[in-house]
């Protein structure tokens, strides 16, 4: 799971579902100033390819120089004229995007900070997008230690600091795609959610995507006699009878307001067993703990076992089902940093 090159080549499912969630959340509201967090950014491709285009580009909006246009927009007059002053408005959607970004024209462009606990992932992202490219994109990739600590650790001293440890700044929005289900247990997940909530400015939002039930977790349980420490790699909601309500309760316990959670059934089809094997290899944590032939044996066992949870078609393709939790939750207005 710490091999960024393999993961970046085999994360089609994760990219597809990140795109799906971003489409669900449209239009994103940007009425709170501040930067953007991507928690568990991995090799950085979702951060740059999918999340970055979803953040309003204020540098582009600065070039729209018509005071008349801005006055009309502030007044809510959404004219669909092809031209207004020097700005050519192609459709009402672009007009609305400009209107939503107007409150932040005095501010600098938002930065996206992608963080991951795997040093290899962060190093790969920084190498793939060099310093100049990251500056142009206004994206940073940082290594942070695992957020999951002692579940009874007092986090009150993290409130209202100049910056929300372990992050470099407070954020207007925090996104996380396919990371939170790797929390080894519910107490660790709760601690992570609390730290994410504390990283937001008052009124900031968390947008979260994680696996609920997944056949890969079932495979690890089935092979528990061989895969030592398998309990740490089972998603916290895999066996939950009501993951939607349980996750909503955990968001409230972490201090979020008005959490909106949806449990969504999804399916994936792999063209053949090789594609399925590559996908499993990219996320299999047990391969990091073994080497050589032993590693190959573990992967072969996992691939053989997961076929029990897939439907094999006559063309050799294999399909399986899983469920996603997609959530939005807000930080209180008295939250730190604002």
Backbone torsions φ then ψ of 56, nearest 5 degrees: -55, 135
Cβ contacts of 320 within 8 Å, gap of 6 or more: 215, 267, 268, 306, 309, 310, 311
Contact 152, 76 (CB under 8 A): no
Using DSSP, state whether 141 is helix, strand or coil: strand
For residue 173, the SS3 value is strand
Residues of the chain with CATH 3.40.50.150: 4-55+110-330
Largest Cα separation within the chain, whole Å, is: 70
CA distances from 270 to 54, 136, 283, 310, 321 (A): 28, 36, 16, 10, 12
CATH of 4-55+110-330, one of 3.50.50.60, 1.10.10.10, 3.40.50.300, 3.40.50.150: 3.40.50.150
List own/partner pairs for 155-163 with CB under 8 A and 24 or more apart: 155/191, 155/194, 155/195, 155/198, 158/195, 158/198, 158/336, 159/198, 159/336, 160/336, 160/337, 161/336
Q: What is the pLDDT of residue 56?
A: 81
Kindly report, residue by residue over 148-194, the tens digit of the pLDDT.
555 445 555 445 445 667 888 899 999 999 999 999 999 999 999 99
Per-residue pLDDT of the chain (338 residues; tens, 9 = 90+): 568 998 999 999 999 999 999 999 999 999 899 999 999 999 999 999 999 999 986 434 433 433 444 444 444 443 333 444 444 444 455 545 544 544 444 445 789 999 999 999 999 999 999 998 899 899 999 999 876 555 445 555 445 445 667 888 899 999 999 999 999 999 999 999 999 999 999 999 999 999 999 999 999 999 999 998 999 999 999 999 999 999 999 999 999 999 999 999 999 999 999 999 999 999 998 887 655 457 889 999 999 999 999 999 999 999 999 999 999 999 998 776 55
- Res 290: pLDDT: 55
Instruction: Give pTM, 2 decimals.
Output: 0.82
Q: Please give the pLDDT value at position 93.
A: 53
| Token pair 């997609």 in the structure block, residue | 326
């Amino acid at each position: 799971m710490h091999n960024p090159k393999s993961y970046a080549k085999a994360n089609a499912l994760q990219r597809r579902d990140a795109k799906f969630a971003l489409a669900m959340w449209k239009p994103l509201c940007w009425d709170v100033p501040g930067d953007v967090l991507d928690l568990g950014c991995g090799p950085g491709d979702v951060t740059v390819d999918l999340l970055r285009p979803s953040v309003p580009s204020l540098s582009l909006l600065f070039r729209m120089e018509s005071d008349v246009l801005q006055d009309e927009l502030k007044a809510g007059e959404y004219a669909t004229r092809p031209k207004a002053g020097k700005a050519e408005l192609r459709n009402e959607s672009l007009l609305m995007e400009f209107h939503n970004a107007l409150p932040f024209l005095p501010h600098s462009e938002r930065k996206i900070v992608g963080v991951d606990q795997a040093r290899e992932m962060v190093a790969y992202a920084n190498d793939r997008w060099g310093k100049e490219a990251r500056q142009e994109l206004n994206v940073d990739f940082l290594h942070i230690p695992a957020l999951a600590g002692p579940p009874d650790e007092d986090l009150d001293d993290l409130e209202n600091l100049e910056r929300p440890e372990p992050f470099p700044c407070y954020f207007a929005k925090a996104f996380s795609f396919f990371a939170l289900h790797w929390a080894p247990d519910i107490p660790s997940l709760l601690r992570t959610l609390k730290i994410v909530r504390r990283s937001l400015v008052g009124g900031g939002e968390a947008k979260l995507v994680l696996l609920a039930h997944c056949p890969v977790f079932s495979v690890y349980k089935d092979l528990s006699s061989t895969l030592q420490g398998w309990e740490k790699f089972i998603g916290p909601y895999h066996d939950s009878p009501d993951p939607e309500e349980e996750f909503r309760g955990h968001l409230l316990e972490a201090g979020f307001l008005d959490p909106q959670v949806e449990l969504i059934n999804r399916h994936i089809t792999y063209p053949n067993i090789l594609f399925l094997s590559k996908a499993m290899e990219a996320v299999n944590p047990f391969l990091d703990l073994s080497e050589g032939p032993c590693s190959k044996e573990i992967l072969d066992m996992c691939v053989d076992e997961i076929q029990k949870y897939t439907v094999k078609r006559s063309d050799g393709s294999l399909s399986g089902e899983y469920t996603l939790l997609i959530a939005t939750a807000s930080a209180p207005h008295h939250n730190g940093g604002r």
